[in-house]
Amino acid sequence: MNTQSHLNPIRLEVYKNLFASIAEEMGAVLRKASFSPNIKERRDYSCAVFDSSGGMVAQAAHIPVHLGSMPLSVAASIQAFTPQATTSLLERKLEPGDMVLLNDPYRGGTHLPDITLVSPVFIETPSTNHLLIGFVASRAHHSDVGGMAPGSMTIAREIYQEGIIIPPVKIYQAGKLNQDVLDLLLANVRTPDERLGDLQAQVAANQRGVTRLTELVERYGLEEVTIFMAELQAYSERMTRNLLQGLPDGRYLFLDYLDDDGISDERIPIQVEIHKDGDQATVDFTGSASQVKGSVNAVKAITLSAVYYVFRCLIGLDVPNNSGCLVPIRLIAPQGSIVNSRHPAAVAGGNVETSQRIVDVLFGAMYQAAPGLVPAASQGTMNNLTIGGWDKRKDAPFAYYETIGGGMGARPVADGPSAVHSHMTNTLNTPIEAIEFEYPLRVLCYEIRQGSGGGGLYRGGNGIRRDIQVLNDAQVSLISERRKMHPYGLAGGEPGQCGVNLLYRDGVPITLDGKGRYDLNSGDILSINTPGGGGYGKSDDT
Best CA proximity match to 451, nearest among 494, 412, 422: 494
pLDDT at 454 exceeding the cut of 80? yes
The pLDDT, as a whole number, for residue 315 is 85
CA separation for the pair 102, 421 (Å, rounded): 27
For the sheet containing 99-102, what is the strand order? 56-59, 45-51, 128-141, 114-125, 99-102, 169-173, 176-177
Strands 525-529 and 500-505: antiparallel
The pLDDT, as a whole number, for residue 12 is 92
Q: Identify whether the C-beta of residue 64 lies closer than 8 Å to the C-beta of residue 358.
A: no
Instruction: Give percent of the chain above pLDDT 90.
Output: 87
pLDDT at 2 exceeding the cut of 60? no
Q: Identify whether the C-beta of residue 405 lies closer than 8 Å to the C-beta of residue 429.
A: yes
Tens digit of each residue's pLDDT (9 = 90 or more) over 418-433: 999 999 988 888 999 9
The pLDDT, as a whole number, for residue 404 is 97
| Mean pLDDT in residue range 371-392 | 96
| Mean pLDDT in residue range 169-195 | 97
pLDDT at 57 exceeding the cut of 90? yes
> Which of these ranges, 124-133, 183-192, 219-228, has the smallest mean pLDDT?
124-133
Residue 410 within any structural domain of the chain: yes
Q: Of 215, 237, 259, which marks where a domain is finished?
A: 237
Residue 367 within any structural domain of the chain: no
Q: Of 220, 237, 254, which marks where a domain is finished?
A: 237
The set of residues, in sequence order, having a beta carbon less than 8 Å from that of 478 and lying 6+ positions away, is 384, 385, 386, 501, 512, 513, 514, 515, 516, 517, 518
Q: Identify whether the C-beta of residue 48 lies closer than 8 Å to the C-beta of residue 60.
A: yes
The pLDDT, as a whole number, for residue 340 is 98
* Secondary structure of 191-205 in HEC code, one letter for each residue: CHHHHHHHHHHHHHH
Residue 456 within any structural domain of the chain: yes
Number of Cβ within a 10 Å radius of residue 486: 18
The pLDDT, as a whole number, for residue 275 is 98
CA separation for the pair 424, 309 (Å, rounded): 8
How many angstroms separate the Cα of 34 from the Cα of each of 45, 99, 328, 524?
Answer: 11, 18, 38, 30
Best CA proximity match to 244, nearest among 359, 300, 325: 325
Strands 176-177 and 169-173: antiparallel
- The residue that leads in pLDDT, 200 or 70, is 200
| Mean pLDDT in residue range 153-178 | 97
| Mean pLDDT in residue range 246-259 | 97
CA separation for the pair 474, 247 (Å, rounded): 52
Best CA proximity match to 318, nearest among 20, 7, 11: 20
178 confidence band (pLDDT: 50, 70, 90): very high
The pLDDT, as a whole number, for residue 21 is 96
Give backbone dihedrals phi and psi of 487, rounded to 5 degrees, phi first: -65, 125
DSSP-derived secondary structure letter, 344: T
Instruction: Give percent of the chain above pLDDT 70.
Output: 96
Helix residue ranges per DSSP H, 34-178: 37-40, 70-80, 89-92
Query: For residue 10, what is the enclosing H or E element?
Result: helix 9-33
The pLDDT, as a whole number, for residue 84 is 63
Number of Cβ within a 10 Å radius of residue 175: 11
Helix residue ranges per DSSP H, 34-147: 37-40, 70-80, 89-92
| Mean pLDDT in residue range 368-386 | 96
Tens digit of each residue's pLDDT (9 = 90 or more) over 458-499: 999 999 999 999 999 999 999 999 999 999 999 999 999 999
CA separation for the pair 60, 47 (Å, rounded): 6
Q: Identify whether the C-beta of residue 115 lies closer than 8 Å to the C-beta of residue 145.
A: yes
How many angstroms separate the Cα of 470 from the Cα of each of 18, 134, 398?
Answer: 46, 47, 12
65 confidence band (pLDDT: 50, 70, 90): confident
Best CA proximity match to 474, nearest among 402, 397, 403: 397
Strands 515-520 and 525-529: unpaired
329 confidence band (pLDDT: 50, 70, 90): very high
CA separation for the pair 142, 130 (Å, rounded): 33
Residue 137 within any structural domain of the chain: yes
Buried b (16+ CB within 10 A) or exposed e, 96-129: bbbbbbbbbbbbbbbbbbbbbbbbbbbbeeeeee
Number of Cβ within a 10 Å radius of residue 293: 16
Residue 43 within any structural domain of the chain: yes
The pLDDT, as a whole number, for residue 418 is 98
| Mean pLDDT in residue range 512-530 | 97
Range of the domain at 30: 5-237
Residue 338 within any structural domain of the chain: no
Please give the mean pLDDT across all residues of the chain. Answer: 93
| Mean pLDDT in residue range 300-329 | 89
Best CA proximity match to 410, nearest among 235, 535, 498: 535
- CB-hemisphere CA count at 13 Å for 123? 20
How many angstroms separate the Cα of 164 from the Cα of each of 159, 185, 288, 444, 534?
Answer: 9, 7, 29, 34, 38
pLDDT at 43 exceeding the cut of 50? yes
CA 315 to chain centre: 20
Give ∠ CA 301-303-309 in degrees, rounded to 5.
Answer: 100
Question: DSSP readout, 269-334?
Answer: EEEEEEEEETTEEEEE-TTSPBP-SSTT---HHHHHHHHHHHHHHHH-S----SGGGGTTEEEE--
Tens digit of each residue's pLDDT (9 = 90 or more) over 11-26: 999 999 999 999 999 9
| Mean pLDDT in residue range 289-310 | 95
Of how many residues is the chain composed? 542
Q: Of 237, 265, 291, which marks where a domain is finished?
A: 237
Q: Identify whether the C-beta of residue 365 lies closer than 8 Å to the C-beta of residue 274.
A: yes
91 confidence band (pLDDT: 50, 70, 90): low
pLDDT at 542 exceeding the cut of 60? no
The pLDDT, as a whole number, for residue 320 is 82
| Total of domains in the chain | 2
CA separation for the pair 435, 469 (Å, rounded): 11
Tens digit of each residue's pLDDT (9 = 90 or more) over 111-154: 999 999 999 999 987 776 889 999 999 999 999 999 999 999 99
* Secondary structure of 502-520 in HEC code, one letter for each residue: EEEECCEEEEECCEEEEEE
Residue 313 within any structural domain of the chain: no
The pLDDT, as a whole number, for residue 60 is 81
Residue 388 within any structural domain of the chain: yes
DSSP-derived secondary structure letter, 106: G
